[in-house]
Structure formats: C-alpha cells, structure tokens
Amino acid sequence: MMPGRCRWVASALLLALHGLLCLQLGARAEMQGDDGSIEDGSSIHFPVSPPVVPDGAEERREHFRALAAKDQFRHERLLAMSSSAARNGSRRQARQTSKVPDVLSDTSEFAELPMRSALNIAHVGMYLVSVRFGTPALPFNLVLDTANDLTWISCRLRRRKGKHYGRSSPAKTMSVGADGAPVKKATTNFFRPSKSSSWRRIRCTQPVCGALPYITCEPTETASCSYHQKVQDGTVTIGIYGMEKATVALSDGKMAKLPGLVLGCSIMEAGSNVDAHDGVLSLGNGEISFGVIAASRFASRFSFCLLSANSDRSASSYLTFGPNPAVMGPGTMVTDISYNDFIRVAFGFHVTGITVGGQPLDSIPPEVWNDKVKYGGVILDTGTSVTGLVPAAYDAVTGALDSYLGHLPRADIAGFEFCYNWTFTGDGVDPAHNVTIPSFEVQLKGGAVLQADAKSVVMPEVHPGVACLGFRKLLDGGPNIIGNVLMQEHIWEFDHRTGLMRFRKDKCANHHLKDGSDSNSTANVHQAPRYVN
C-alpha cells in the first residue's frame, strides 16, 4: 500500500525526496516494466569495457604521468572536502539514512548498468558507466565515482540558446574500435531538461533545496535550486537541481523506469577531463547519491567488477543494483563497511594490517588504519587510480616490495618513486631475472583478506620495459586510498543497510547474470563476525 511504501524516512532530505516520489507514483508503479509488472527475480544488465592504455612508448609515459598527476590533485581536493565536512556536521552516514520500506528493500530483483572506458578517459584511469536518463530516455556516459555524492550531466538549458560553458565546441570523445585503434565518437551528449517530460526542477523555495549539498541559493529566492561543486580531481560543476528518472533494461527484454533520482543539470564545467565524458555517476555515501537512491529500490546494495586495463578489449563487466549472484562464490570475503568521520561522502573498510610475502608489516602504527582519527582509516575510491598511503604505511610497503626488486636497474618515471627496467607478464615470476613479485595481502576486520593481483602491486609497462610499484605517498595526510588499480579483477558488493561489504577475486568478464540455483550458497563464503559498538 502507498502508506507502507512511504512511511519510513530518516532525515529531512529523504522525507522531501520520498514525498516527491510518492506524489509521482503509486505502489508497484514505482518500478515497473512496459506491461506494468516486473517478475520476481528479474534483473537488469549491461556490458562494461575495461580501461585502455596506449600502446606507443611516449603515449604510455604521458598516460601514467597524467594518471599520477590526476591522483595527486584528487587527493588534495579530498583533503579540502574533509576540512569542509568537519565544519559542517549536517551530512549523515548512508547506513543511518538509506533504509527504505520493507516492500522495497526485500525485493530479490537486481539491476545492472553498463560501464566502459573511452580512450581519453583511460589517460586518467577512470571507468565510464552508461545510463539512460529522461523521457524519452537518452544514454549518457558517466564517470563511476565512489567518493562523490552528486550525480550530474552536462546540460543545455533553453534560455542559453544551445551554449554550454566549459566545453569545447563541439565536444568530442574517443572510443576504441575492434582493431584497438582510436575511433572518434559523436559529439558529447547534452541533457536538455526542456525535452524531458519527467524532469522536475527543484526551486530554492522548496524545503528539499535547503537540505541538498553544495547549494548556492537562498530559500527566499524563486529561482531554480542551484549548486556549485568542486571535487577531488579539480573538476568544477555549476548547475541546477532537479528530479529525474532513469530507464533500465530488464533481463527479459522489458524496460523499467527508476524514478526519484536527484540529478544535477550542469550548465558549466571546468577541469582537464570534462570533454571526455557526459558527467558523473555518484556511488558515494550521501543521501542524494545515485548509489544510495538506486540501491534503496534493490535491497539497499550495489556491486561492480572492474576489469583490468590489460584485459581483452572485447571483454565486459558491470555495475549491479540489487542482489548479485556473481558475488557469492569460492573465496568470497565479508567485512564491515567503514564510514570515515572526516570524509563523509566516501566509505571503505577497517584494515588491521598488511603482509608482504607472508610477513606482517608490524612497523605500521595502528592509528594509520583508525578512521576515527583525522587523516586515518581507508577509503575505496574508483576515481583514484594508484593506491595512496600515508608515509608510515607507504615506506613500510614500498620498502618490503623493493627488497624483492631492488637488484633490478632503476628507471625514472614522473609520478612514481619505485620503477625498474624490467618486463613481466603473467603472475610476476621471472626466474631469468631472479624476480618473484611477493604476495600482497590487506588484512581486514573480522578476518577477511584482500589478496591483490601481482599487476596491481607492480604496474607493468608503465613505459615499455619499465614496471613501477603501484603506490603513491600521501605527503599531505590521509585517509589512505585504495584506488581502482588495486580494486581491479575483484567483484565488490556494498550493502549499506547491513553495513557489510563482500568481495572476491574475479576476472569480471562476461558473466552478467549467473544462473545457478546454488550461486547464492554461503558454503564458500568467509563470514566475518558481526561487531556491536
């Protein structure tokens, strides 16, 4: 019943959003297919392509130089957001605010969105997700960002007569053809609110506007609810807020509408990479995050699998909302999600230690991993590429790894401290050069273990014939950041309702909706014990 769907809210913002949502739709019409129904157990799935690293020597060098520079700038902005959040205590943790009525959260359905990486996006190591917004629905390629709570798309408002500030004219993106060569795409997509019948502009006078982040208008103004956001990688977006719907395809061929999404209609962007995508898809910890809102319709969980940049270019992976059978399998680990008190749009896990070659790095102080200490803890950030560690952890990790590689000739690559004139393939075992990349394990609360792949620890072919340690020193402070290089070739699931994350090693290739009645079995799952604080 309608009251049952809308009876539970945990904040003023969610109350306002649910109010708008309940006015728009009723009962099961909120998520329905073309024929008005969705069968239990149906799913939504889309392919995802891996990032592409250039083949040419100088292009590769420039690729990794730009990647390191992007990560550094993103970290500086992350610290700035931390300082801002410390002064503003109004933002609440998603685990406290993302609960939804039982009729929604108990569904067994799940949805997947397509992810890929354009060639110029690969130069900064970001993944793209394809999402269809508006009515009629149009596709937009958005950056996957787990440390952001604002989803925005480049817009063209009618009053601006087609102009858009911050974009080249025309804005072009690049993709990769079947032969691996760059292929020019069509002009960057722009969202046009005036042409979407489902767009609902939010005004400054509406209560929901005052609860939204980054706003720049006063409640007495009758204008559109405007925002100004500057994020970690230096990207700036200025625009207006609205409510919109996304269209998703079900596995049985039906189409479904996902309403109640808070969307930033960006009329101006600044940053070195804004021409390479249509906007940002937020999966961060915030009440307006696409990840939080969409997951609330699908059992409050979402998952993704990031393909290696070295994967075959025909491979695909996915972003899933709802229970994902692929998460459960041999070696699945379960641990608590940690919510950092100082960077509240991000989330991570509780680290208890790191081992290299089976040896624990006991020299790392425990407070490095404590997310209750400023600059402590660990966050997971798909927008960052190379894992960043505070000096005490970085020195211990790189020192231990260098003891296995230090006899190799050193190479000088901008953005990396430890690089070697050495080429490795496969598992990193090279008897000819007396090199074996050691095991690298991150020990987590409850006994879960993240076992990184060799090419995530030592990045191959940063320059032809040169490999570099995949870590960066955070000289300006933490928290420690697990980047997408270390996260690749794992499937990750985040359940904000229970505060748990699940992960396991996976090549992430072409297994969107695993069929198998026993795929949900927990027989092979490492169950970390639950803790009550």
Residues recognised as catalytic? 145, 381
Residue 375: how many other CB atoms lie within 10 Å: 18
Question: How would you label 443-476 residue by residue, b for 16+ Cβ within 10 Å and e otherwise?
Answer: bbbbebebebbbbbbbbbbbbeebbbbbbbebee
d(CA 3, CA 202): 24
Q: Alpha-carbon distance 237 to 127, whole Å?
A: 19
Q: What number of other Cβ atoms are within 10 A of residue 386's Cβ? A: 25
Collect all residues with Cβ–Cβ distance below 8 Å to 161 and sequence separation of at least 6: none
State how far the Cα of 69 lies from the Cα of 272, in Å rounded to an integer: 11
Longest Cα–Cα distance of the chain, Å, equals 73
Q: How many residues does the chain have?
A: 533
**Cα Rg of the chain, angstroms:** 22
Torsion of CA 519, 317, 290, 527, to 10 degrees: 40
Q: Residue holding tokens 């290299």?
A: 356
CA distance 174 to 176: 7
Sheet holding 500-505, edge to edge: 111-113, 319-321, 301-305, 490-495, 500-505, 333-339, 347-349
